Amino acid sequence: MTSKKIFADTVTFRQLANSDLNAVASVQLKSWRGTYAGVLPDEYLGVPMASDIERRWSSGLTPLDALWGAVDDAGTLLGFAAVRLGKAPYLDNLHVLEEARGSGMSYRLMAHVADAIIQIGARDLWLTVVDSNLRARAFYNRLGGREGEAKADEMFGNAVVSLPVYWSDLTELSKNARQVVSPLDGGEAGT
């Protein structure tokens, strides 16, 4: 990846397909290695994490998977959001590469996700976040997410404490995300 400054308004946001899943796995792996260093055991952050992420994406998308990405003019995937559709859509993943953080890209991805799932008739969205991921929690809070009660959880077999975050109004989520196009503190999600 080049060291040039990335601006969210020069990025294309599009629905992703099975052909994009190798790039999705790569973005998630890079994001998680940075985000979960010191949270998950060091020995997990290498080959075991790469294997788990590869296994997750190698099976392909199901009819319940909706995946959107932020792609630069060279076609490089800079970030993505994955939603498990259902009665209450679940934001399973939101990742932006380190070099794209601070550009507003995570906010634009969240606005895009909210708009897309409104179009399919959804009214709310939820996710879980590791309690020690303060950057992501602050990001979701700025978007109007309401945190639920923390509980013991697991991430690929590793014990963590997580909490749910809820949005009951996707129109409000989209509006909040569009109001913060260039975050002052550079805090973007890496969940």
Is residue 190 domain-resident? no
171: domain CATH number is 3.40.630.30
| Tens digits of residue pLDDT in 132-158 | 999 899 999 999 999 999 999 998 788
Secondary structure of the chain in the HEC alphabet? CCCCCCCHHHCEEEECCHHHHHHHHHHHHHHHHHHCECCECHHHCCHHHHHHHHHHHHCCCCCCEEEEEEECCCCCEEEEEEEECCCCCEEEEEEECHHHCCCCHHHHHHHHHHHHHHHCCCCCEEEEEECCCHHHHHHHHHCCCEECCCEEEEECCEEEEEEEEEECCHHHHHHHHHHCCCCCCCCCCCC
Residue 182 binned pLDDT confidence (cut-offs 50, 70, 90): very low
> 112 pairs with which residues across the strands?
none
| Tens digits of residue pLDDT in 47-93 | 999 999 999 999 999 999 999 999 998 899 999 999 999 888 999 99
- pLDDT at res. 179: 84
Domain ranges, residue 119: 11-179
The torsion of the CA quartet 73, 76, 81, 85, rounded to 10 degrees, works out to 90
| Tens digits of residue pLDDT in 12-33 | 999 999 999 999 999 999 999 9
The domain tally of the chain equals 1
Tell me: pLDDT of 187 over 80: no
Which residue has better confidence, 159 or 17? Answer: 17
Residue 184 binned pLDDT confidence (cut-offs 50, 70, 90): very low
48 vs 31: CA distance, rounded Å: 15
